[in-house]
Amino acid sequence: MKLTIFIAIIIFLRYLVPRLVDFGAPERTERKSEWDYRVKFAKLNKEKFEKANQEEKEELLYYYTHKIRKAHNYSNASFRNMPKPLQVVWLINELETEVNNGGFSQFFFNSSGRYTEETLEALEAIGAKHNYQLLLNAVQTVTKSNERIKTGEINKLIESSDLYNHEKLEEKMYELDEKFYEYKEDFSTLKMNYIEKYKNDLWKELEEKYGSE
C-alpha cells in the first residue's frame, strides 16, 4: 500500500514539477535588431554633427529623429514637438522609404499618409519642386480634387479599394511612381543644405527640449 502511494507521488511530481518550472521561468524577450540599438543610443549635437561627413550626418539625423518618435510610440505629439528642421528631415525620409517600397499608394495608406500636407510643406522647404509636384499630383489623383488637401489624414478621404480596384487610377499612380524613381532631385543634398541653413537654431532648440546629448 505504502509502495503504491509512493509511486503515485513520484508520478505526480514528474508531471507537476516541469510545469511549475515553466510557469516560473522568465519570458523570452525578442532579440533587438541593429536598427533598434542605433535608434536607442542615437545622439545629436553640434560637436558630433560638425565632425561627421555628409553620409554620417544623414545617419545622425535619421536615427535621432526615430529615437524621438519611437520614444513616444510615434505619436502625433512626438512629431509636433520635434524642432522644425528635424520634422522636415523625418518627413522627407518617410516619403522616400514608403514610395521606394510601394509607391505613393503605400505612402498614403501607411501612417505617413496622415502627414501628407506636412510632407508637401517639407518638399517646399528644401526646394524639391519636382517631387513637390509629383506628390501634389498623386494627392489630386486619389482625391479627384484640384486643391491641396486640408486634412491630416488622406486615407480618411479615400478607400484603398478605390485605388487598387481602379485600372486607370492604378496606371496614373504607377506613372507618378516611375517619375519619382527617376530621382531628378538629390534629396540628400537638399536636406543637408536645409539643415545647414537652420542648424544654429536647431542646436539651441535641441538643448532646450532634450538637454545635451
Say what the pLDDT of residue 182 is: 96
Say what the pLDDT of residue 97 is: 96
* Nearest-angstrom CA–CA distance, 96 and 93: 5
The mean pLDDT value for 203-207 works out to 92
Look over the chain and give the mean of its residue pLDDT values, rounded to a whole number. 83
The mean pLDDT value for 194-208 works out to 94
For the cut 70, the answer to whether the pLDDT of residue 165 exceeds it is no
- Residues 118-143 have pLDDT tens digits of 999 999 999 999 999 999 999 888 87
Q: What is the DSSP letter of 119?
A: H
Percent of the chain whose pLDDT exceeds 90: 58
Say what the pLDDT of residue 23 is: 45
The mean pLDDT value for 189-201 works out to 96
- Residues 30-80 have pLDDT tens digits of 677 998 999 999 999 999 999 999 999 999 999 999 999 998 899 999 999
Tell me the pTM.
0.79
In sequence order, the 6+-apart residues with CB closer than 8 A to the CB of 133 are none
The mean pLDDT value for 155-173 works out to 67
Say what the pLDDT of residue 204 is: 93
- More confidently predicted of 148 and 181: 181
DSSP-assigned states of every residue in 105-145: HHHHHSGGGGGHHHHHHHHHHHT-HHHHHHHHHHHHHHHT-
